[in-house]
Amino acid sequence: MDCNGYRQENHDQNLFPKPKVLVLEPPPVFKFHEDKLSQKFHFLKAWDSPLPLDQFLTTHAHSVQAILSHGTCPVTTNTIRLLPSLGLIVTTSSGLNQIDLQECRRRGVSVAYAGSLFSADVADIAVGLLIDALRKISAGNHYVTQGLWANNGDFSLGSKLGGRKVGIVGLGSIGLEVGKRLESFGCNILYSSRNKKSSVSYPYYSNVCELAANCEVLIICCELNDQTRHMINKEVLLASGKKGLIINVGRGAIIDEQEMVRCLIQGEIAGAGLDVFENEPHVPSELIALDNVVLSPHRAVHTEETLMALVELVMGNLEAFFSNKPLLSPVILDE
């Protein structure tokens, strides 16, 4: 530690090395803002090295104090164990299912994340997917661009958004933003969540199957963890019924994807709007072929503006760590 409190010398980049940060796979912020990030940090790019990952980690074992990670990049027990100097993982995601938090807790490794930075953007996409699925915007685009309209084809009617009963699964910051937006469209909001929220008057269901049975649309906004993996299973899908719509902006694996595909094909649910999938970037071919499904490439979280704010947050967290100051957006690792 130097007189400015830095754990590594970095105030004069010509004389002193920048703090090293390990990157296992390129995060989306790299595509647009790598130059800016690289002005302050030296990134060790595991994916760019000819060495197998374990060997790469062993080679840099003692110099890596921080990892920069993202939503679909696993940070496993093995990775953490191979890095004895590791003190921080910064992820550009709000979701944390890809990081072994238990090992972080055990080792005393801090974690910083995007918190609620993306909530409004994700809520916009959830509502967009719902309106598209109900009013058939993408299907209408296909109908026009494929010349079917000009050929006197028949385009089926959509359904009204206002007055619809919408069940939000997970009333965290994204779910609350979705609720706010849909209230202004005249929807009736119901929800399920780990706990009943005193801040809202929406009807609460502790059981997601009962929620599904009592609404016309389910919007999945919760995090993926051991309790929510495949929570939207056959029983819940069937409870949604033949007019039920499923919108997912959480994580793909919250839904039993195979079962959802089967229900869509057999008409046991009416349709879906999906930004996330179980095995990204692979999307089941059956989903691609269905015209009652709207697909989006896990982009709900990213707008130009939010990526800009994200870079500042990532740099702020790394700078705080290397200056021994409190992190800007720490994850509280409960016992």
Footprint of ligand O=CC(=O)O (CB under 6 A):
71, 93-95, 114, 118, 301
| Cβ 186 to ligand O=CC(=O)O shortest distance, Å | 29
Nearer to ligand O=CC(=O)O, 114 or 217 (CB): 114
Taking a C-beta distance cutoff of 8 angstroms, is the pair 258, 134 a contact? Answer: no
Q: Which of 33, 164, 251, 302 is catalytic?
A: 251
Nearer to ligand O=CC(=O)O, 95 or 128 (CB): 95
Count of beta carbons in the 10 Å neighbourhood of residue 6: 16
Any catalytic annotation for residue 280? yes
Q: Is the dihedral of CA 17, 23, 26, 31 positive or negative?
A: negative
Nearer to ligand O=CC(=O)O, 71 or 172 (CB): 71
Closest-CB residue for ligand O=CC(=O)O? 95
Q: Tokens 């609350």 — which residue?
A: 176
Nearer to ligand O=CC(=O)O, 142 or 194 (CB): 194
Taking a C-beta distance cutoff of 8 angstroms, is the pair 123, 189 a contact? Answer: no
* CA-only gyration radius of the chain, Å: 22
Q: Which of 106, 280, 299, 312 is catalytic?
A: 280
Count of beta carbons in the 10 Å neighbourhood of residue 335: 3
Q: Tokens 């910051």 — which residue?
A: 173
Angle formed at CA 90 by CA 86 and CA 93, multiple of 5 degrees? 145
Q: Which of 33, 70, 164, 298 is catalytic?
A: 298
Q: In the structure encoding, which two tokens stand for residue 294, read together?
A: 């709207």
| Cβ 219 to ligand O=CC(=O)O shortest distance, Å | 15
Taking a C-beta distance cutoff of 8 angstroms, is the pair 170, 220 a contact? Answer: yes
Residues marked as catalytic: 251, 280, 298
